[in-house]
Structure 1
Amino acid sequence: MRDMPSVEDLGNGVWSLPVPIPDNPLGYTLTYLIESAHGPVLVDTGWNSEESWNALTTGLDRAGVSVTDVRGAVLTHFHPDHSGLAARLREASGAWIALHHADAAMLRRVTAQRRTDRREFEVTQLRRAGAPTAEIEAHEVATPPFDTRVSADRELSHGELVDLPDRELRVLWTPGHSPGHICLHLKDSGHLFTGDHILPRITPHVGLFPLDDSDNDPLGRFLDSLGQIHELGATEALPAHERRFRDLAGRTSEIIAHHEERLEQLAAALEGEPATLWEIAPLLEWRRAWKDMRTAARRMAASETAAHLRLLERRGLAVCSTDPNTTDTATPGALRWRSTAGSAAAL
């Protein structure tokens, strides 16, 4: 577990308010407070727990603000470590909650989904990924940690200005980690609130889900959206995890290089017969060995592998198909990828 940083005045009317994520290796979400003429606005709210709520309200007190003074909260994306306290904040202060329209739709779908529907969906995805029958049958569906009361009062689009009186806080649509992930540029201070899009040490999960979505290219969009960061002239990145940093251009270049290296590894792994995600993903390097992962972690790794394979498809280096005549009862309807060239060397 990471050590919690302190509440910090970053200058220019911006504060960093760490909010813990209980029992999670990330440790905390860095929520930010931005002062304005008619009340402060938060960037993200943190995880939905009593410990997290106490940390948020204590942080606000340290910044000289009561929770009832909060004007609104902009969520960089819908994940529960960012949106979890939004409903409670709205109830306590009357604050509006803003979210990109793509993630607002995702949030509605996730909070409305029944457990039985969720299990059926996940089982289908595991089969499409080529997971063996025994592993599919043993897979337990986790209860999503979303507060079903969370919803967006305002849905945002790329280039829009957030309702922040006397200040210019602009929305940048940066999809990849989620369909509607956004960064926020505060022009007068030079800060860029990067959410999970750009972190100083780790790279965010970018997965293809569902696997059958042939129109979706999350990694391609993620890499494309990194390009617009160079044009902003932001002087400091304020991410949702880890720590703030200044070399945005250098860090974005590192992230792009990491994914290009991953794409090269995958291109080489496609040599030979067509293979499923469950056959390809173990060939790559992961923080934890594939054999030591639980099914839920393997599903995340497989979806990230699929996102890279989709980009290889877009570049004309791989092709995906389903064998309608398969007799492999362990993986019915599994998707298989192969190289479009005769060998890895040709790629």
Structure 2
Amino acid sequence: MADVRRIQVSGGSDGSAEGGNSAYLLPDRGILVDPGPPTESAWDRLVDGIADAGLAVEDIEHVLVTHWHADHTGNAARLREAADATLAMHERDAPLVGDYAAERERRLERDAATLERWGVPSEQVASLVDFDSPSPVPDEVPVRELADGDTVAGVDVLHTPGHTAGHAAFVVDDVGFVGDAILRTCTPNVGGGDTRQSDPLTAYRRTLSRLESRVELARPGHGESFPLAPRVAELRAHHRERSGRALAALATVEPATPWALAEELFGEMAGYHVKFGAGEAFAHLEQLRNAGLVTRVEDDQLAYETVDSDVGQDDVATAWKPSTDRASRTR
């Protein structure tokens, strides 16, 4: 089994449910996965962890990042420069780091337009855009774009969308560095973390199956490692139950926009929870639509209704049979 050193680069003192960030060092391969947020304390912990493994920063040859969110990419450019290393990400997420300044502006415009289409009130949209502060990272940085099936120093690249469009896991032997695709103590957000995705929950279901077929031990972007298969079962059960709640809520929510459904499911939301809540509701509505249980009644500002009054929880259970996901597994 590959030599892996976990470095806790942040302590989770911000109260986030998932806890502090985990970076991973593969000393024999010169690889560092997910170097953490753009803070001095995270950088110091990262450098100390590398030194504790008997390496210098200059020994790092490859900086691999699972997805574009700042708590995973924030120190990536700094480490790339300090180590004269290659920074690499999946091709779908790479531009959001490689061309950060321009892509951030595009992302804010896209997020605002998407939230409005989801039915989020304009004042909530404006507040969320204001809440999204820029990260202290370079406007541009060279990034090697990876594709599903590529390898880096013997580590396989597995495209695992859902949390973001270009989320990737890095797999060696039966160990997977899974970023935020699977977390031990909380459920990764699907739908709100990246508004580029048109059917994020269907993509995420395939991600769970792909990881299940390749990985026994998960090393997540937050917290300690854990056996993957039992956690996949829990996540499937969680989303199956939430799909059932979403379907039931359509009988009482009028109009059934993703935002209205999110308020019904999650209650009052503020800050980034506006995007995460509305995105999660959208993800479940599109999954139910993909299963033929609901239909869109409006497309400009999205609204949904059940296909007929006979649709119920048995139909949700059928739609969530694991054979649907396993049919799309690839190794």
Counterpart in the other structure of 2:232: 252
Q: Tell me which of 36, 50, 62 is aligned to 1:72.
A: 62
Residue 57 of structure 2 contacts residue 82 of structure 2 at CA under 8 Å; is this kept in 1? Answer: yes
* CA deviations over 1:63-101 (Å, ceiling 9, x no partner): 111111111111111111111111111111101011000
Query: Quick one: which amino acid aligns to residue 277 of structure 1?
Result: P
Q: Does the alignment pair 1:132 with 2:121?
A: yes
Conserved 8 A contact 1:207-1:218: yes
Q: Secondary structure at 2:46's aligned position in 1? A: helix
1:90 aligns with 2:57: no
Q: Residue 298 of structure 1: CA displacement?
A: 1.8
Query: What's the counterpart of residue 32 of structure 2?
Result: 42
- Where structure 2 has 5 or more consecutive residues not aligned to the other structure, the ranges are 316-331
Percent identity between matched residues is: 34
Aligned partners of 2:256, 2:194: CA distance in 1, in Å? 18
Structure 1: which amino acid aligns with 2:242? R
Map 1:67-216; keep pairs closer than 5 Å: 67-108=57-98, 110-113=100-103, 120-136=109-125, 138-141=127-130, 142-145=132-135, 147-149=137-139, 151-162=141-152, 164=153, 168-187=154-173, 190-207=174-191, 216=198
Is the deviation greater in 265-274 or in 296-305? 265-274
Q: Do the aligned partners of 1:83 and 1:150 also contact (CA within 8 Å) in 2?
A: no
> Kindly tell me: are residues 47 and 282 of structure 1, through their superposed partners in 2, closer, same or farther at Cα, counting changes over 3 Å?
same
- Could you tell me which of 216, 219, 225 is aligned with 1:238? 219
Task: Tell me the amino acid that sits aligned with residue 258 of structure 1.
Answer: H
Structure 2 length normalisation: TM-score?
0.84
Residues 207-228 of structure 1, C-alpha deviations (whole Å, 9 max, x = no match): 16887x7x82111011112112
Which SS does the other structure have where 1:302 is aligned? helix
Greater alpha carbon shift after TM alignment, 234-243 vs 74-83: 234-243
Corresponding residue of 1:277: 258
Which residue of 1 is the match for residue 326 of structure 2?
A: none
Q: 1:100 to 1:133 in 2, by over 3 A?
A: closer
CA contact (8 A) 1:158 1:171 kept: yes
What residue ranges of structure 1 are gaps of 5+ in the alignment?
A: 1-10, 324-332
Q: Secondary structure at the match of 2:21?
A: strand
> Which secondary structure state, in structure 2, belongs to the residue aligned with residue 194 of structure 1?
strand
Letter in 2 for 1:91: E
User: 1:287-324 CA deviation, whole Å, 9 max, x = no partner?
Assistant: xxx22x2153222200111011111111111112337x
1:319 match: 295
Asked if 2 retains the 8 angstrom alpha-carbon contact of 1:159 and 1:170, the reply is: yes
Q: Tell me, yes or no, if the aligned pair for 2:112 and 2:129 is still in contact at 8 Å.
A: no
CA deviation string 1:235-264 (max 9, x = no partner): 422111121112x21111111111111111
Q: Given that residues 86 and 150 in structure 1 are in contact (C-alpha distance below 8 angstroms), is that contact kept between their aligned partners in structure 2?
A: no
Deviation per residue, 1:104-131 (Å, 9 max, x gap): 134356531465x666544433332223
**Higher-Rg member (1/2):** 1
1:28 equivalent to 2:8? Answer no
> For residue 270 of structure 2, what is the aligned residue in structure 1?
294
| Cα distance in 2 for residues equivalent to 1:65 and 1:114 | 34
Q: Do the aligned partners of 1:269 and 1:344 also contact (CA within 8 Å) in 2?
A: no
Moved more, 24-33 or 222-231: 24-33
Distance 1:35 1:109, change over 3 A: closer
C-alpha displacement of 1:145? 2.4
Shift of 1:41: 0.7
Structure (1 or 2) with the greater helix fraction = 2
Letter matched to residue 285 of structure 2: L
| Paired residue secondary structure (1:102) | coil
Provide, for residues 4-27 of structure 1, a one-character-per-residue CA deviation record: whole Å limited to 9, x for no partner: xxxxxxx84211111016735244
Deviations 1:165-220 (A, max 9, x none): xxx31111111111111112111xx3221111111121111116887x7x821110
- Give distance in 2, aligned partners of 1:191 and 1:49: 28
In the TM superposition, what is the alpha-carbon distance from 1:43 to its structure 2 partner? 1.0
